[in-house]
């Protein structure tokens, strides 16, 4: 333990201030086992791609074969990164977790395409899915190369300066005692922001989609980012509880955890629940140095058995038969849906509890909701199928200009165009009518490909790998627990597979500024001892 002011910060590994590369010695035996694992996995992935090329199987078999190959490829890269830098899932570093997430969302979940899909996905031919999987197989190593090369010494120095600003170390003296009521203030501000969003009809699935695509207000983005401070407050409360314990800290932690889970459920976005519990596990892991495996398993069980069925039933009630339930009515209906879900019913769809029909319905919800919604290859397959023949490439310069213009406050630019990428994507690639107010999930790979094709996707993947390395090298909180809130916020933002590159680049600087300000508010520098 190394004392920084009066705030003791555990240093999990020695880090070069110049390069940011870990200088921790690697255990020879464990290093040998890790090398064998990633080498074997890489050999299996290459073998699967060779079989695919030589055997030329039927399209359904090819989709399955390539899905497995992509899964193994991402897992091999995850093992390689872990062997190269001593990083693993147990440490909750962004790079390995992104590769694991991609193995599931881009690879494993794509096996469902062995059978034709229904609904708007019926417009996608399975040969396009197979083509998209081949492109993912090419892009994955480029991401790893970007991660290995890194963002460069200058960027790493700027990252360390950002960390110093967030932790009050500009003069090298440091400091960092947590203010007693700081997390309550931050959480209170986030609650006010989200209540305002609910009242204005701008909160998650409760929002009126027709208004969301037709216009916006100058304060909408402010409310969204301010509302996210609740997660930062929960991360700080988790660290304080893990380090010091105590009844008061435990009570505050449970109140903040319940608040975040409650708003996550009300939003109709099941990912909010998952990211909340993931943030708690991350915070406890870096503070205590061990993975709370029981928490992860328990959270996974609650997510699958309660949150997913609740989310499906709740959404059905909120937008039943194409009509939107008012926000107060939706909030009032949520407790009843939760009770029916826990009792085994379908929460408003006529379920009968624990009978065979109820079990079948629950299984169908898990299959259609979990697998279909986490699958990220769909949007890339749609783009590959229609671009550039039917839908022309978008200008590659939009990847630069759109984030810059997106950061201009609407108060200074009242006529700034509304960002409706998911809504327009549905119409262009899934042939949905304009009066269907639904937003498609667009993976970063799909967004890069539609801005110039394979070359843009490969170069963009390498740059994204460098960005993830930047976060891991400069902001990982094991070297300073005061960085936990900032790291958690970026971890949950960058782990998602449903955000376009342009939206990500717009959100990233705004998120950093707000959370850095929250960190500086939460911790204060104690008086120097004479």
Annotated domain spans of the chain: 34-149, 153-345+374-524
In the chain, the percentage of residues whose pLDDT exceeds 90 is 44
Q: What percent helix, strand, coil does the chain show, rounded to 5?
A: 70, 0, 25
Can you give the pLDDT at residue 188?
Answer: 95
Per-residue pLDDT for 73 more than 90?
yes
Give CA–CA dist 353/179, Å, rounded.
Answer: 48
pLDDT band at 528 (very low <50, low <70, confident <90, very high): low
At 2 the pLDDT is: 38
Confidence of residue 452 (pLDDT cuts 50, 70, 90): very high
CA distance 372 to 255: 33
pLDDT tens sequence across 502-526? 889 988 998 999 999 999 999 887 6
Reported as type and span, the H/E element at residue 62 is: helix 59-85
Task: Give how far Cα 332 sits from Cα of 83, 191, 208, Å.
Answer: 51, 17, 17
CA distance 17 to 174: 16
Residue pLDDT, tens place only, 196-214: 988 888 888 777 776 666 6
Q: Tell me the average pLDDT across 262-266.
A: 88
Q: Give residues with Cβ within 8 angstroms of 58, minimum separation 6.
A: none
Q: Is the pLDDT of residue 114 over 50?
A: yes
The DSSP output letter for 111 is G
Average pLDDT over residues 173-189: 82
Highest mean pLDDT of the ranges 285-294, 368-377, 439-448: 439-448
Which candidate, 463, 439, 467, places its Cα nearest to that of 451?
Answer: 463
Token readout for 283 is 């915070």
pLDDT at 150: 92
> Residue 58: left (phi > 0), alpha (psi -120 to 50), or beta?
beta
What is the C-alpha to C-alpha distance for residues 471 and 490, in angstroms, rounded to an integer? 8
Helices (H), 215-305: 220-227, 229-244, 247-267, 270-288, 293-302
- pLDDT score at 213: 66
Preceding amide of 372 cis, omega within 30: no
Average pLDDT over residues 123-133: 94
Q: Percent of the chain having pLDDT more than 70? A: 83
Tokens (6 digits) for 322: 């194409």
| Cβ atoms of residues 465 and 150 within 8 Å | no
pLDDT for 467 equals 96
The CA distances from residue 89 to 143, 219, 314, 481, in Å, are 18, 38, 33, 18
Check whether 3 has a pLDDT greater than 70: no
13 confidence band (pLDDT: 50, 70, 90): very low
For range 1-15, the mean pLDDT: 39
Which DSSP letter does residue 482 get? G
The answer to whether 521 and 503 have CB atoms below 8 angstroms apart is no
Q: Report the pLDDT value the prediction gives residue 323, as an integer from 0 to 100.
A: 67
What band does 259 get if pLDDT is binned at 50, 70 and 90? very high
Q: What angle is formed at CA 522 by the lines to CA 518 and CA 526, rounded to 5 degrees?
A: 135
193 vs 212, 255, 418, CA distance in Å? 18, 17, 21
Q: What is residue 445's predicted lDDT score, i.e. its pLDDT?
A: 94
Is the pLDDT at 356 greater than 50, yes or no? Answer: no
Across the range 420-425, mean pLDDT stands at 85
Contact 193, 227 (CB under 8 A): yes
Q: Quick one: which of 460, 472, 468, 463 has its CA closest to 494? A: 468
Band the pLDDT of 483: cuts 50, 70, 90. Answer: very high
CB 506 within 8 A of CB 403: yes
Checking if the pLDDT of 306 tops 60, the result is yes
């Amino acid at each position: 333990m190394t004392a920084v002011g009066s705030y003791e910060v555990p240093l999990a590994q020695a880090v070069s201030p110049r390069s940011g590369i870990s200088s921790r010695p690697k255990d020879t035996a464990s290093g040998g086992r890790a090398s064998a694992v990633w080498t074997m996995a890489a050999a299996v992935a290459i073998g699967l791609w060779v079989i695919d090329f030589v055997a030329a199987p039927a399209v359904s078999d090819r989709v399955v074969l390539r899905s497995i190959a992509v899964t193994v490829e991402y897992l091999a890269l995850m093992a390689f990164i872990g062997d190269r830098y001593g990083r693993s899932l147990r440490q909750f570093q962004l790079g390995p977790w992104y590769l694991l997430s991609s193995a599931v969302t881009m690879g494993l979940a794509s096996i469902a395409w062995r059978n034709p899909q229904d609904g708007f996905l019926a417009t996608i031919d399975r040969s396009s899915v197979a083509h998209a999987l081949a492109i993912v197989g090419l892009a994955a190593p480029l991401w790893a190369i970007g991660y290995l090369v890194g963002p460069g010494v200058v960027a790493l120095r700027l990252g360390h300066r950002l960390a110093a600003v967030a932790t009050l170390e500009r003069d090298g003296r440091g400091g960092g005692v947590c203010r007693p009521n700081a997390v309550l203030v931050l959480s209170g501000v986030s609650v006010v922001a989200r209540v305002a969003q609910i009242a204005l009809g701008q909160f998650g699935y409760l929002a009126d989609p027709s208004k969301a695509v037709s216009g916006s207000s100058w304060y909408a983005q402010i409310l969204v980012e301010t509302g996210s401070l609740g997660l930062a407050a929960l991360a700080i409360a988790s660290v304080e509880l893990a380090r010091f314990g105590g009844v008061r800290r435990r009570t505050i932690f449970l109140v903040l955890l319940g608040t975040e889970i409650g708003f996550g459920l009300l939003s109709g976005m099941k990912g909010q629940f998952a990211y909340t519990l993931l943030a708690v596990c991350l915070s406890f892991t870096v503070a205590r140095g061990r993975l709370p495996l029981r928490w992860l398993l328990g959270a996974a069980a609650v997510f699958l058995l309660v949150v997913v069925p609740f989310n499906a039933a709740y959404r059905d009630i909120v937008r039943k038969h194409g009509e939107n339930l008012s926000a107060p009515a939706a909030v009032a209906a949520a407790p009843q849906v939760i009770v029916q879900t826990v009792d085994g019913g379908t929460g408003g769809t006529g379920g009968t509890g624990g009978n065979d029909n109820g079990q079948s319905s629950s299984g169908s919800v898990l299959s259609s909701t979990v697998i279909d919604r986490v699958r990220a290859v769909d949007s890339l397959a749609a783009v590959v199928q229609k671009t550039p023949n039917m839908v022309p490439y978008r200008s590659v310069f939009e990847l630069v200009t759109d984030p810059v213009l997106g950061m201009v406050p609407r108060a200074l630019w009242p006529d700034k165009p509304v960002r409706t990428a998911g809504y327009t994507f549905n119409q262009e690639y899934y042939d949905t009518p304009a009066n269907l107010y639904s937003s498609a999930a667009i993976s970063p790979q799909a967004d890069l490909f539609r801005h110039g094709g394979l070359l843009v996707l490969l170069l963009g993947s390498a740059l994204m790998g460098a960005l993830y390395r930047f976060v891991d090298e400069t902001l990982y909180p094991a070297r300073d627990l005061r960085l936990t809130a900032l790291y958690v916020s970026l971890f949950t933002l960058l782990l998602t597979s449903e955000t376009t590159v342009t939206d990500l680049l717009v959100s990233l600087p705004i998120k950093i500024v707000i959370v850095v300000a929250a960190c500086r508010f939460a911790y204060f520098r104690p008086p120097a001892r004479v």
